[in-house]
A and B are shown apart, each in its own frame.
Chain A
Amino acid sequence: MVFQEKTIEKLENKANAIRKHIIEMISNAEGGHTGGALSIADIMAALYFYILRIDPKNPEWEDRDRVVLSKGHASPAWYAALAERGYFPKEELLTFDHINSRLQGHPDMNKTPGVDMSSGSLGQGISAALGMALAARYLKKTYRTFVILGDGETQEGQVWEAAMTAAHYKLDNLIVILDYNKLQLFGQTNTIMNIEPVIEKWQVFGWNTIEINGHRINEIIQALENAVKFEGKPTIIVAHTIKGKGVSFMENKVEWHALPPTKKQAKQALKELEYLYKKGF
């Protein structure tokens, strides 16, 4: 499939806008997981501005596609995508992590419009997404469920309980996107605990696998198109990504796992992201 250049450009711009929001939110909150939020910005743009069947004016629409951010610590990327898509005002993004904010450090489905499941304790989101997919089949609904999984997160045993179960029930309405950014809190993912061979593991668990560069919009949307059409098995899109993608001094640096940028660093990052920053930020 050949995608229109306009479509690709639009999504790239959205991903860039999401990245800028991430920097602003985390810097302003003086806390948050910068690296792992930046690595899923392109994936979020592709979900919210390409594949999802949703209605931001009616976040509870019962036939909507579901999204679960199993790696809940990347919440700023999700909030930014939701705000860009019109679920709530963009100005609200700067309340992230503040007391009484609807935008918690980790996603809270009862606080934030558009958040379909609370998450934060790793390994749990994929099971909830599987429940949503199983419910869709039971209720004869056609919605799809997308779940973003961290690479380090797959060290949790529950992920493999869910992997086994989704394949057992042949849930082809469940699509996992693995944010394979190769880093986790304390170091390189495969040094902390080797998760390779990733593709083969999911295949022997009974999954359809697709491997892509998670920063190339055309690859992401092609993979999503293929995944939603695939029948008889759940699909995992293994997206090779770069932690901290888009900001030179953050890329592939483990220390940016949970480090907020200072105001000066944020300025530099935003400049890199071609941000026309306002005076005084």
Chain B
Amino acid sequence: MNNNVIATRTAFGEALVEMAKERKDIVVLDADVATSTKTSIFREAFPERFFEMGIAEQNMMGVAAGMATTQKIIPFAVTFAVFATKRACDQVSISIAYPKLNVKIVGSYGGIPTGKAGATHQAFEDIAIMRAMPNMIVIVPADAVEMKQAVKACVEYNGPVYLRCIRCDTPIIFDKNYKFKWNKGVTLREGKDVTIVSTGIMTPEALIATNILIDQGVDVRLIHLHTIKPIDKDILLKASIETGYIVTVENHSIIGGLGGAVAEILSESEPVLIKRIGIKDIFGESGSLKGLFCKYGLTSKNIVKVVEELIKEKVRKYSYQR
């Protein structure tokens, strides 16, 4: 990990401009939040390809769908994740996912970071909602490097995608040699004792926790899942068999998101004890970023604590079995 930090929303805005230079079919629709979602960068570069839809997210999703029916335009419908997935949920489902139209839905302000806006603007259920929708792909990049490659992958895929962006600056963990592989999890460290599965901006935090645990002698495996749907089952089943215990970490509710998905997969074929770190079925609140991440246990310190408890449990279980 180097010391660079950049918000994935900014990386998204920049990536879109880069892609749009080659791909004339990319257009952007935004619902009066362009400076926040960073589609403002796109508007500056390609004003004729930017469509302001006003504060009307439901209509925006339908308009994007209608544009996509021409098969000559790839619309990026961009707004805050709460509005994209909750306010316009039926429009995304019926006008985009059901007809499998080539619309990229971008939810900015995923999870806790909203600039102190609080519960109304914090998306804790967006991954769960979008994951339940047939035909929908769900991608949650970890850093700016991965975001840029994810945007490219989204454009190359013909169908609806939900892409999640984050407001605050986050560390860059991947270098220029990183290759985003569609639907494939990334093993950041091999290990035998326990597996941490993380997504989005919690992966840099999980990486810090992993290094602390390694120093303590715990052989941690770390898997980053940028694609929540379709999920990489093989990497999860292998981890379950080889390490036995799983900890999931996400900047999202523990219900229906990464933790939910991992639990569903493993409980059907390779059940193991799973601890889910994430937002525990509550609405959010305003506050400092550091304060909120601490309060909700989304820190390397808490990941270390949960893993340590799990290891203790593992030792206890094995001593029973003997």
Q: Which residues of A contact B (CB under 8 A)?
A: 62, 66, 68, 108-110, 116-121, 123-135, 138-139, 157-158, 161-162, 164-165, 168
Q: How many angstroms between the C-alpha atoms of A121 and B89 in the bound complex?
A: 12
CB distance from A59 to the nearest CB of B (A): 12
Contact B56 A131 (CB under 8 A): no
CB within 8 A of A139: which of B56, B65, B70?
A: B70
Contacts of B64 in A (CB 8 A): 131
Which of these binds chain A: B94-102, B184-192, B209-217, B306-314? B94-102
- Do A165 and B56 contact each other (CB < 8 Å), given the known contacts A117-B69, A131-B67? yes
Chain B residues whose C-beta falls within 8 Å of the C-beta of A164 in the assembled complex? 54, 56
User: A131-B69, A132-B70, A164-B54 known; A110 and B91 CB under 8 Å?
Assistant: no
| Selected contact of A165 from candidates B54, B67, B98, B100, CB within 8 Å | B54
Q: What residues of chain A lie closer than 8 Å to B66, measured between beta carbons?
A: 68, 117, 127-135
Which chain A residues border B69 with CB–CB below 8 Å? 66, 109, 116-117, 128, 131-132, 135
* A-B pairs with beta carbons under 8 Å apart, 28 shown: A62-B71, A68-B66, A108-B99, A116-B69, A117-B66, A117-B69, A119-B94, A121-B95, A125-B62, A127-B58, A127-B66, A128-B95, A130-B59, A130-B62, A131-B62, A131-B64, A131-B68, A133-B66, A135-B69, A135-B73, A138-B27, A138-B67, A139-B72, A158-B58, A161-B58, A162-B59, A164-B54, A165-B53
- Complex formed: what's the CA distance from A119 to B70 in Å? 17
Chain B residues, CB < 8 A from A124? 58, 62, 90-91, 94-95
Name which residue of chain B comes closest to A117, CB basis: B69
Q: In whole Å, how far is B27's beta carbon from the nearest beta carbon of chain A? A: 7
Q: Which residue of B lies closest to A66 (CB)?
A: B69
Q: Does B61 contact A (CB under 8 A)?
A: yes
User: Which of B59, B69, B71 is the most central at the interface, judged by chain A CB atoms within 10 Å of its CB?
Assistant: B59
Task: Tell whether, in the assembled complex, residue B63 and residue A110 are in contact, meaning their CB atoms are under 8 Å apart.
Answer: no
Chief secondary structure at chain A's binding surface: helix
A135 touches B70 (CB 8 A): yes
> How many B residues face the partner with a CB closer than 8 A?
30
**Residue of B51, B56, B69 with most chain A CB atoms under a 10 A cut-off:** B69
- Which residue in B49, B51, B65, B72 is a CB contact (below 8 Å) of A128? B65
Say yes or no: A134 contacts B67, CB within 8 Å: yes
CA distance A126 to B63 in the complex (A): 9
A128 and B56 within 8 A (CB): no
- B61, B65, B73: the one contacting A138 at CB < 8 Å is B73
Rounded to whole angstroms, the CA-CA distance of A115 and B236 in the bound complex is 42
How many Å from the CB of B87 to the closest CB on chain A? 11
A131–B101 alpha-carbon span in the complex (Å): 12
User: Which 10 pairs, one residue from A and one from B, show the smallest C-beta to C-beta distance?
Assistant: A131-B66, A127-B62, A161-B59, A128-B66, A161-B56, A131-B63, A132-B66, A118-B99, A131-B67, A135-B67
Of residues 37 to 91 in B, which have CB atoms within 8 Å of A's CB atoms?
49, 51, 53-54, 56, 58-73, 75, 90-91
Most chain B CB within 10 A, of A116, A134, A139, is at A134
Q: How far is the CB of A72 from chain B (nearest CB, A)?
A: 9
Most A-side CB within 10 Å, residue of B54, B62, B69, B99: B62
Extra contacts, 19 of them, besides A121-B90, A158-B62 (Cβ < 8 A), are A116-B69, A117-B65, A117-B95, A118-B94, A121-B94, A121-B95, A124-B58, A124-B62, A125-B62, A126-B62, A130-B59, A131-B69, A132-B67, A134-B63, A139-B72, A158-B56, A161-B54, A164-B56, A165-B54
Contact residues of B with A, CB < 8 Å? 27, 49, 51, 53-54, 56, 58-73, 75, 90-91, 94-95, 98-100
Residues on A with beta carbons closer than 8 Å to the beta carbon of B75: 131
CA distance A117 to B91 in the complex (A): 13
Q: B99 near A127 (CB under 8 angstroms)?
A: no
Complex Cα gap A135–B101 (Å) = 14
Neighbouring B residues of A134 by C-beta, 8 Å = 51, 63, 66-67
Complex contacts, B72 vs chain A, CB 8 Å = 62, 135, 139
**Alpha-carbon distance A220/B64, docked complex (angstroms):** 30
Is the Cβ of A158 less than 8 Å from the Cβ of B59? yes
